[in-house]
Copies of this chain bind each other. A is one copy, B any other.
Amino acid sequence: MALIVQKYGGSSVADTEAMKRVAQRIVDAHNAGHQVVVVVSAMGDTTDDLLDSAAALTSAPPEREMDILLSAGERISMALLAMAVNELGVEARAYTGAQAGIQTDSRFGAAQIVGMVPERVARAVKDGQVAIVAGFQGISKDDDVTTLGRGGSDTTAVALAAALHADVCEIYTDVDGLFSADPRIVPKAHRLRTLTQEETLEMAAHGAKILHLRAVEFARRYGVPLHVRSSFSEKNGTWISDAPANPELKGLVPDAALKSPEENAMEKPVISGIAHDRSQDKITVTDVPNSPGVAARVFAVVAEVGANIDMIVQNIPVSDPTKANITFTLPEGDARKALDALEAHHDEIGFNELRYNPNIGKLSLVGVGMRTNPGVSARLFSAMSDAGINIDLISTSEIRISVVTRLEDLDRAVQAVHTAFGLDASETEAVVYGGTGR
């Protein structure tokens, strides 16, 4: 027997028919002898519909009431899903975020989990019931409903899995798992059988959309094994963990998940996957005095308005070494306020002009194999060069290399690099995994 937390996104419970399918999957896991806790998002377009209603009434909705409004979507889906499971002969109990003991701070719309006391959930599964929990929501110490922001249901699921010491947190979505690159850009992208938590973190932080960064961070911090898979098929998806799976899960996880990480590492390619991100903008502050403390002043101003800086490059023009240009990237939503803040501090910083470029794209190569394989950057740069694509900025971590290109070159860059690193499906599936094709 294993304890399984299953998370179903909105597309998995888009309507009552989809819900019946999900209910059957839950019941199958229960009948196979496992304890099952389910986290569910709002049905299909519910959240958008609620947002539309709010927008029809006000352009500045109060945050507290917005959270009450949005939390209703998950309450509907969890109650209905519990009914569907009951109908299949397995007792199910639905719990709101508050009832599941998900305690948060009071930052409406983007609340952080500050405590987990899932007593009722634990009691329910101990009594042989399926517990169904509303994703995305919690309760503040003032007894107010809060929502966890984007990717909140993933976070709920991982936090519950951590608190309940679950053997796996299954993240059900509408694709078969994580891929070596976005299949819409690289049709030959292959599904990843396993991925380390560190790699997943880098992928999520640099544009991969399947899993939300906060959930991955949570999983990593508490060592929660994740299994990202499709609710529309029985196929195994991507296993994300730094430890082998509980053997009880055999059949429910990819076979590779049962092996030790060392065994898996031997079979892994140097690069696991390529993430891309179109949502960053670039700002250059030109001709600032090349003296100590100026860069610090620039970023203090930007940080003050809450903009999140990603990459930073400083260069000194050969023509005038007393000046420097500072370039950085940030999420497109933060660009306006950063520009305004810098403009307001023009005299204090002493720059010449602000250059703003929203037309950039970022490609990130991720893989733990990078640590022991020199030459990855060289191979990346030559692939880009062969494809005639200019690299604007570069940043690296121990297991990642990111490069910024012009936005219109991004897709081509991803395709070229995917091929250059031997990730295209026909090769990889056959060579690395010995797969029989999909």
- Which chain A residues have a beta carbon within 8 Å of chain B's beta carbons? 16, 19-20, 23, 50, 53-54, 56-62, 64-66, 68-69, 71-73, 75-76, 78-80, 82-84, 86-87, 92-94, 96, 98-99, 143-145
When all copies of this chain in the complex are counted, the total is 2
Alpha-carbon separation in the docked complex, A53 to B143 (Å): 30
A57 touches which one: B16, B60, B98 (CB < 8 A)?
A: B16
CB neighbours of A79 from chain B (8 A): 54, 65-66, 68-69, 72
Could you tell me if B71 and A75 are in contact, using CB atoms closer than 8 angstroms?
yes
Could you tell me if B83 and A75 are in contact, using CB atoms closer than 8 angstroms?
no
CB neighbours of A68 from chain B (8 A): 75, 78-79, 94, 96
By beta carbon, the residue of chain B nearest A20 is: B57
Alpha-carbon separation in the docked complex, A19 to B20 (Å): 34
Alpha-carbon separation in the docked complex, A61 to B80 (Å): 9
Q: List 23 A-B contacts (CB under 8 A).
A: A16-B56, A20-B57, A54-B79, A57-B84, A58-B86, A59-B87, A60-B87, A61-B83, A61-B86, A62-B82, A64-B93, A65-B79, A65-B93, A65-B94, A66-B83, A68-B75, A68-B78, A69-B80, A72-B73, A72-B76, A96-B145, A99-B143, A99-B144
Chain A at the B interface: SS class? helix
Besides A54-B83, A69-B83, A71-B75, 19 new A-B residue pairs in contact (Cβ under 8 A), listed by A number: A53-B76, A53-B80, A54-B79, A54-B80, A57-B83, A58-B87, A61-B86, A62-B92, A65-B79, A65-B83, A66-B83, A68-B75, A68-B79, A68-B96, A69-B76, A69-B79, A72-B72, A99-B143, A99-B144
Q: Which 10 A-B pairs have the closest CB atoms?
A: A69-B79, A58-B87, A16-B56, A68-B79, A72-B72, A65-B82, A57-B84, A72-B75, A65-B79, A58-B83
CB neighbours of A23 from chain B (8 A): 57
Q: Give the most central of A64, A76, A143: most B CB within 10 Å.
A: A76
By beta carbon, the residue of chain B nearest A98 is: B143
CB neighbours of A143 from chain B (8 A): 98-99
Could you tell me if A86 and B62 are in contact, using CB atoms closer than 8 angstroms?
yes
A80 touches which one: B16, B57, B75, B98 (CB < 8 A)?
A: B57
Alpha-carbon separation in the docked complex, A229 to B87 (Å): 43
By beta carbon, the residue of chain B nearest A70 is: B79
CB neighbours of A87 from chain B (8 A): 57-60
CB neighbours of A144 from chain B (8 A): 99
Alpha-carbon separation in the docked complex, A93 to B65 (Å): 7
By beta carbon, the residue of chain B nearest A78 is: B68
CB neighbours of A76 from chain B (8 A): 50, 53, 69, 72
Q: How far is the CB of A312 from chain B (nearest CB, A)?
A: 40
Q: Give the most central of A56, A68, A93, A143: most B CB within 10 Å.
A: A68
Could you tell me if B16 and A53 are in contact, using CB atoms closer than 8 angstroms?
yes
Alpha-carbon separation in the docked complex, A82 to B61 (Å): 9
Alpha-carbon separation in the docked complex, A99 to B87 (Å): 32
CB neighbours of A66 from chain B (8 A): 79, 83
Could you tell me if B99 and A84 are in contact, using CB atoms closer than 8 angstroms?
no
Alpha-carbon separation in the docked complex, A60 to B80 (Å): 12
